[in-house]
Structure 1
Amino acid sequence: MRKRLSVAGAVLLTVLAAVFVFVQPAHAAAGFSVANGRLYDAGGTEFVMRGVNHAHTWYPQQTSSFANVKALGANAVRVVLATGDRWAKNSAADVSNVISLCKANRLICVLEVHDTTGYGEQSGAITLDRAVDYWLSIAGALNGQEKYVIVNIGNEPYGNQGYATWATDSANAIKRLRAGGLAHTIMVDAPNWGQDWSFTMRDNAATVFNADPAKNTVFSIHMYGVFDTAAEITDYLGRFRSAGLPIVVGEFGFNHSDGNPDEDTILSYSQANRIGWLGWSWSGNGGGVEYLDMATNFDPAQLTSWGQRIFNGANGIKATAREASVYSGTTPTPTTPTPTTPPPTTPPTGGCTASYTIVNQWQGGFQGEVKVTAGSAAITGWTTKWTFAGGQTVSQSWNAALSSSGAAYTARNVDYNGRLGAGASTSFGFIASWNGTNPAPAVTCTAS
């Protein structure tokens, strides 16, 4: 689906256009990397995007926007760039300046080429191959910035026509970028104006991921009118989680001309499942979708209702964003990259169930995880219980309120992960000691 932006009196066509930080044990990289369906920064810390889109290419003078979104709590910004094919080209020098603004404000830069928007349906849109030409032409501005930059090859690279080649074209684009020396995490947008109503990305994501020699690709779905129910949102995102493939919501709004997206579910499900998101957009919308501005005239003191929702609302940026550890240098609590057991295909009826996994084990200690899955109806809270039989003792935990009485442990949801839709899952983890044997206990779950 489409949205429009206006610049200098001209209406430019575009489209629809937790975070917690966790350490992945024994992991480090030159830049961002992907493991088991999760995104990690160069220090091996899990990074979950909580940020906004900024239309830099149409408003290059609005450089204060980076500081303003950071001051409101964002940890990432998706920056609109242009190749010169549809809009004025952002030079390598300009891109270098954008990256420096992100770094100065301790933001992760997701850089995207917008000229691909709606290819096959939108006049003037370019191919992913042409977008790769642009990225390689500015490689000098990108190389060495892998700790701070994610390369989003092309925004919404197909409209509602001609998208059958999305998988092949995306795979070839990734391979060309790698052959050209780009070692960054690559982000790939869905076709169908980003909304993938045909499930082309969903059903071919594994093939595209495996085509990346670095196995360092993240998928991006844009959620507007196609995603107007909780079931559609949780099913789509949940399938990527079950497949162990990294997914982010690269754009979404609270309203749109093609329908009314369920932003509350986007935010709550993403928070419960550690899925990143970037709302559209900071400011500058036109052509009938001005309501998607988060700030009036780029003024952070004039947040719109959408801006208030994104930054200050439930499961919004202020409540959930965590700065990338490449900036903070802190050492957060260890946890698992992802559950080893996928959510059940058919959810249990009523209440909730829980499963216990030993994620990692070493002499005298181990890392455990419990996954909670709602049954056939939504739940507003959960309590899990188990009793260790091998003398295990928990020393630290996260994503749950944990208490014990001897060997018996009780874990209850915290405020951000108690509400689960039917069949939806969340998880919590812990570090514990063991001596002799480390049998996995049976875990019960009670919903409220």
Structure 2
Amino acid sequence: MKKKLAAATGTALAVCASLLLAVAPQAQAADTPGFHIGAGRLLDANGNDFVMRGVNHAHAWYPDRTDQALSDIKALGANSVRVVLATGDQWTRNDTADVAHVVAECKENRLVCVLEAHDTTGYGEAGAAVPLSRAVDYWLGVKDALVGQEKYVIVNIGNEPYGNSNYSAWTADTKTAIGRMRAAGIDHTLMVDAPNWGQDWSFTMRDNAAGVMAADPDRNTLFDIHMYGVYDTPAEVDDYLGRFVSAGLPVVVGEFGDMHSDGNPDEDAIMATAESRGIGYLGWSWSGNGSGVEYLDLAQNFDRGRLTAWGQRLFNGTNGIKATAEEAGVYADPGNEDTTAPTAPGTPTATGVTADSVRLTWPAATDNTGVSGYDVVRVEGGQETPAASTTTTTATVTGLAADTTYTFAVYARDAAGNRSPRSATVTATTEDNVVGACAVEYRLSDWGSSFNADVTIRNRSDKAIDGWELSFGFPGAQRINSVWNARATQQGSTVRATHEAWTRTIPAGGSVSFGLNGSSSGGNGTPTAFTLNGQTCGS
């Protein structure tokens, strides 16, 4: 595995298959003096939605550049900045006075300040890295610079707190760190980074996030994923972020780039998905990268007039900072603040119901300054769980259970973060997707270092299957190069193939086929176990 360089970002290889998230707890602290989490969203002190659009700045290594950097970052349209601090374990400690100065400069430039302790980077794999417990010691040591700044500051406990070794300890360590912070009276929104150099290819953070949130007595934790080479396709980006949204858990892309040594991250998909789902992002990093990752600089030599291609993309491109950032409500001019909420959207209708999804459409809401987006919620037992976010009047809710009745409603929001009353509800029952009576035929054409395979899925039930996902594992060191009549992703040896539009339906008693081409360094065996839509299928 490649290791993270000092001023760079995390790296990892995606090797684990997906698991489902648990649904997040709904409770939250009654007293929320600053940023807080509500219904799976990051809210400011006024209860308004806040979506981060900003960058990272390496203050720990370039403290003399920070004042000008924050001014320049704001001038380019950002509403937030993630600031690298050092605990003194790997790099020179940023003391209480220095942290207070950084916070003051963030406020002067009307930026939300995300403070992160960097010395935990790659713990368990990087020799000099320290555990989260040391980061907590640091925050308690600079507590005087934090208390009272809950409206302006988010505390990111430790950067990428595990590498690719012993990362299973992340859950317990994160719960303990949060507990110590709360016991010490730190009431800020706490941001926690994923393990695996921040990329969570093992899905450790994803699959334990609900438990971590439940362990926070304030229910005020924000989850931070770093997207580099592991996230090189739109499907991988949307699947990871979408599972948090569906589970009602708040997530932010705290680091990402347009290229990296471990692969080519899909920055277009990251930015587009974050915008469509109302999720924050923070690009890495303003300037000063070294050790071979200088390509991650957004500005050449800290000069805002000399943006790199990556900087131009992040600040000025489609779904970029300039086009999508909204200043935090805590900095709004009280005399000009928009406090008028949109009207409630019209009653939604449900169409396109499948075994695991439903398409919702509703009449538009109105607002004095214009509606900026809509949030779909699932309603059950008086509780609401976020289901989807969109800028249009239609959304497809995915990840549903078959043969289950759901109730949905919609909220509208405006650019100031005001939220409308809830729409009337609509009820939909997903289809009963029977796939137990099925078989898979895998026909291999083996050429040693390469191979083709024709895969046929046979539906032996008396009901059509509308939409499918076939999962199987390669028995050797095989990699997919191309696929036809389906889409496929591979993580380690596990392959997940899903339908194209023209192969979506498998008729009762019928079949569909797709093919793939791959390469191998150790021979080409035939998979022996297949699951179709999560259920075992014969061969």
Q: Same fold (TM over 0.5)?
A: yes
Structure 1 stretches of 5 or more lacking a match? 5-11, 18-26, 336-364, 377-381, 387-392, 402-414, 444-448
In 2 relative to 1, CA 152–385 (structure 1 residues): closer, same or farther, beyond 3 Å?
Answer: closer
How many angstroms apart in 2 are the aligned matches of 1:61 and 1:374?
Answer: 57
Contact in 2 for aligned 1:283/1:293 (Cα 8 Å): yes
Residue 88 in structure 1 maps to residue 92 in structure 2: yes
Alpha-carbon deviation of 1:322? 0.2
Secondary structure of the 1:145 match is coil
Which position in structure 2 is the counterpart of 1:398? Answer: 371
Which position in structure 2 is the counterpart of 1:16? Answer: 10
**Number of matched residues?**
372
Which residue among 193, 197, 200 is the counterpart of 1:196?
200
Alpha-carbon deviation of 1:287? 1.0
Secondary structure of the 1:285 match is coil
Post-superposition CA distance 1:308-333 (Å, at most 9, x none): 00000000000000000000142355
- Greater relative CO (CA pairs within 8 A, separation 6+): 1
How many angstroms apart in 2 are the aligned matches of 1:113 and 1:94?
Answer: 14
Which position in structure 2 is the counterpart of 1:331? Answer: 338
Which position in structure 2 is the counterpart of 1:30? Answer: 33
Post-superposition CA distance 1:206-227 (Å, at most 9, x none): 0101100000000000000000
Residue 59 in structure 1 maps to residue 62 in structure 2: yes
Residue 106 in structure 1 maps to residue 113 in structure 2: no
How many angstroms apart in 2 are the aligned matches of 1:170 and 1:373?
Answer: 41
Amino acid of the residue matched to residue 59 of structure 1?
Y
Which residue among 222, 232, 249 is the counterpart of 1:218?
222
Which position in structure 1 is the counterpart of 2:48? Answer: 45
How many angstroms apart in 2 are the aligned matches of 1:194 and 1:371?
Answer: 39
Superposed counterparts of 1:218-257, under 5 Å: 218-257=222-261
Which position in structure 1 is the counterpart of 2:439? Answer: none
Contact in 2 for aligned 1:249/1:276 (Cα 8 Å): yes
Contact in 1 for aligned 2:81/2:111 (Cα 8 Å): yes
Compare 323-332 and 261-270 and name the one that shifted more: 323-332
Secondary structure of the 1:307 match is helix
Post-superposition CA distance 1:161-184 (Å, at most 9, x none): 011110100000000000011010
Contact in 2 for aligned 1:371/1:428 (Cα 8 Å): no
How many angstroms apart in 2 are the aligned matches of 1:369 and 1:216?
Answer: 32
How many angstroms apart in 2 are the aligned matches of 1:385 and 1:171?
Answer: 40
How many angstroms apart in 1 are the aligned matches of 2:213 and 2:157?
Answer: 14
Post-superposition CA distance 1:414-443 (Å, at most 9, x none): x9769999969xx77278899xxx965799
Normalising by structure 2, report the TM-score: 0.63
Alpha-carbon deviation of 1:45? 1.0
Contact in 2 for aligned 1:224/1:253 (Cα 8 Å): yes
Contact in 1 for aligned 2:227/2:256 (Cα 8 Å): yes
Which position in structure 2 is the counterpart of 1:141? Answer: 145
Alpha-carbon deviation of 1:79? 0.1
Higher Cα radius of gyration? 2
How many angstroms apart in 1 are the aligned matches of 2:372 and 2:396?
Answer: 18
How many angstroms apart in 2 are the aligned matches of 1:311 and 1:371?
Answer: 37
Secondary structure of the 1:196 match is coil
How many angstroms apart in 2 are the aligned matches of 1:76 and 1:274?
Answer: 15
Contact in 2 for aligned 1:16/1:251 (Cα 8 Å): no
How many angstroms apart in 2 are the aligned matches of 1:79 and 1:103?
Answer: 13
Contact in 1 for aligned 2:347/2:426 (Cα 8 Å): no
Secondary structure of the 2:63 match is coil
Which residue among 151, 161, 175 is the counterpart of 1:157?
161
Superposed counterparts of 1:63-74, under 5 Å: 63-74=67-78
Post-superposition CA distance 1:222-272 (Å, at most 9, x none): 000000011110000000001100000000001000000111111111101
How many angstroms apart in 1 are the aligned matches of 2:53 and 2:216?
Answer: 25
Which position in structure 1 is the counterpart of 2:285? Answer: 281
How many angstroms apart in 2 are the aligned matches of 1:371 and 1:441?
Answer: 6
Contact in 2 for aligned 1:189/1:219 (Cα 8 Å): yes
Alpha-carbon deviation of 1:2? 4.2
How many angstroms apart in 2 are the aligned matches of 1:432 and 1:99?
Answer: 33
Secondary structure of the 1:265 match is helix
Post-superposition CA distance 1:326-378 (Å, at most 9, x none): 0014235547xxxxxxxxxxxxxxxxxxxxxxxxxxxxx856686999999xx
Which position in structure 1 is the counterpart of 2:313? Answer: 309
Amino acid of the residue matched to residue 398 of structure 1?
V
Secondary structure of the 1:219 match is strand
Normalising by structure 1, report the TM-score: 0.76
How many angstroms apart in 1 are the aligned matches of 2:74 and 2:421?
Answer: 39
In 2 relative to 1, CA 46–13 (structure 1 residues): closer, same or farther, beyond 3 Å?
Answer: closer
Superposed counterparts of 1:379-418, under 5 Å: 384=361, 395-396=366-367, 398-399=371-372
How many angstroms apart in 2 are the aligned matches of 1:121 and 1:172?
Answer: 21
How many angstroms apart in 2 are the aligned matches of 1:119 and 1:34?
Answer: 28
Residue 266 in structure 1 maps to residue 278 in structure 2: no
Which residue among 179, 184, 204 is the counterpart of 1:180?
184
Amino acid of the residue matched to residue 148 of structure 2?
G
In 2 relative to 1, CA 182–255 (structure 1 residues): closer, same or farther, beyond 3 Å?
Answer: same
Structure 2 stretches of 5 or more lacking a match? 12-29, 375-389, 400-409, 414-418, 429-539
In 2 relative to 1, CA 323–432 (structure 1 residues): closer, same or farther, beyond 3 Å?
Answer: closer
Which residue among 102, 126, 130 is the counterpart of 1:126?
130
Alpha-carbon deviation of 1:112? 0.2
How many angstroms apart in 1 are the aligned matches of 2:48 and 2:421?
Answer: 23
How many angstroms apart in 1 are the aligned matches of 2:349 and 2:93?
Answer: 47
How many angstroms apart in 2 are the aligned matches of 1:324 and 1:218?
Answer: 17
Secondary structure of the 1:308 match is helix
How many angstroms apart in 1 are the aligned matches of 2:148 and 2:268?
Answer: 37
Post-superposition CA distance 1:20-70 (Å, at most 9, x none): xxxxxxx98311000111001111111000000000000000020000000
How many angstroms apart in 2 are the aligned matches of 1:196 and 1:297?
Answer: 31
Contact in 1 for aligned 2:344/2:412 (Cα 8 Å): no
Contact in 1 for aligned 2:373/2:391 (Cα 8 Å): no
Contact in 2 for aligned 1:394/1:433 (Cα 8 Å): no
Amino acid of the residue matched to residue 331 of structure 1?
D
